[in-house]
Structure 1
């Protein structure tokens, strides 16, 4: 019993960091700095990240990007996801792609969407390493699924440049990365690590990265790779649907394909539920997908809904969420959409 009580106690460093966050929320930035600095010097990653944020924003301390970069690096070295992303973005903005790539990769694999946008573009263009179009597409579709600004536009450009088979590989990677990033972390009582009290949301300033800026990688400037000439044209597989607007929470796809099922019966009650089969930068691919799987949804209506630069494939209506899930059958991805 004594041990259980001890596990509930908050360490002094965590308490100081949380007090600093509370002070920051009240606009008392100097108080926040006074709380964070000792904890940051003692090695608390959240305090280090928050102190770096303060120097980035110039609140409670003078704006000093060099000092902020140093604190971001200290937190990043301890595995702080937001710090890894921010440190990588700073290095990229400083025209240091080789130094930025490892940090952006770490943050991307752990689900940080802005890092995914930049790192995916780097992989496409070969900045900081060799080109890897399947991985580039995997990170871009994950960034677009998280509604990261400009990610859908970049995905639409890649849809035109990357061959179908490599996009298919990228989508399979995206599903695997998503499943791995969603693995639950052990509670701090077991790991011995304090609960995260770093600043979140709008307190994290964006990178200066702009995919359209001349000094940054420009996807539109790259032409698709030429396909080898063969006696018979290569068999082209339709690309698998991209992740929906909300990141999927499913596990990685199994090695063996699911057995085909009979066409799902459509509920007679005209409810408002639908299923989304994918989201495409090229509307022709959306219609091609429906041409391939439409027979599985006998009696349902298809809708090609525009969402920014993307075209979503919506099918329905269904009487309930359960009916929508049943209609999906073995088709992946296939996500119920509420009315």
Structure 2
């Protein structure tokens, strides 16, 4: 019985093995072959769809060589249509000064627009800015609140940051931060587009 099982296992192994060894028989698809060329994406983005504009911005940002100015251009187009991902990418690029001048206050403005749509990573970034006083005064209560919101909105790494931060806070401060997080409401009054 064991000999028959070994023989069956060897047979299965050798029938699958050629696809793994011979390049022309590989059973997987190269992921780079699946993404449309930039020209094709640009044609779609020029039709005005926010998701296509955002995806084109990502392609320019991740291209070799990277073209941050062109990425910012397309993110702004998508942001005009209130695309949360575009808001966040504009925040990230403003934060580090890629394609636009570095400006923490501008980064925070874009992050808040993304946060208003429940973008967890944008919420985390706001918390980080409060914890390390980037563009705002240092405020551990605000940092804790935003880390808490980020974790609740799917950015799970933020809960570790919140917990580490809590070690440097009093119980009263933590209670205030939790109260703010529970009662936070998105601000929908700010305009979508920033300066050109």
Scaled by the length of structure 1, the TM-score of the pair is: 0.40
Find out whether 1:90 has 2:97 as its counterpart.
no
1:95-152 CA deviation, whole Å, 9 max, x = no partner? 4212201011121232211111111111233211233433321110122345636423
In 2, Cα distance between equivalents of 1:73 and 1:160: 39
Unaligned runs of 5+ in 2: 1-30, 187-196
Q: What is the alpha-carbon distance in structure 2 between the residues aligned to residue 127 and residue 136 of structure 1?
A: 11
Distance across 1 between alignment mates of 2:44 and 2:152: 36
RMSD: 2.7
CA contact (8 A) 1:84 1:107 kept: yes
1:52 equivalent in structure 2:
57
Question: Which stretches in structure 1 are left out of the alignment for 5+ residues?
Answer: 1-23, 182-339
In the TM superposition, 1:78-157 aligns within 5 A as: 78-94=81-97, 95-146=102-153, 148=155, 150-157=157-164
Cα 1:25–1:129, aligned 2, differ >3 Å: closer, same or farther?
same
SS in 2 for 1:161: coil
Cα deviation code 1:29-74 (max 9, x no counterpart): 22xx44432342343322210111111222xx85322211221122
User: 1:147–1:42: structure 2 CA closer, same or farther, 3 Å change rule?
Assistant: closer
Kindly report which structure 2 residues correspond to 1:1-339, keeping only aligned pairs within 5 A, or say none: 27-30=34-37, 33-58=38-63, 63-94=66-97, 95-146=102-153, 148=155, 150-177=157-184, 180=185
Aligned length: 152
User: How far apart in 2 are the matches of 1:99 and 1:93?
Assistant: 11
Q: Cα 1:62–1:126, aligned 2, differ >3 Å: closer, same or farther?
A: closer
What's the CA shift string for 1:247-283, capped at 9, x where partnerless?
xxxxxxxxxxxxxxxxxxxxxxxxxxxxxxxxxxxxx
What is the CA–CA distance in structure 1 between the aligned matches of 2:51 and 2:35, rounded to whole Å?
18
Q: Name the SS of the counterpart of 1:115 in structure 2.
A: helix
Task: Label 1:28 to 1:50 Cα distance change in 2 as closer, same or farther (>3 A).
Answer: closer
TM-score of the pair, normalised by structure 2: 0.65
- 1:108 and 1:139 in contact (8 A); partners too: no
Distance in 1, matches of 2:40 and 2:46, equals: 11
Structure 1 residues 39 and 28: CA distance shift in structure 2, 3 A: closer
Structure 1 residue ranges (4+ consecutive) displaced by more than 6 angstroms after TM superposition:
none
**Structure 1 residue 92: deviation in Å?**
0.9
SS of 2:48 mapped into structure 1 = coil
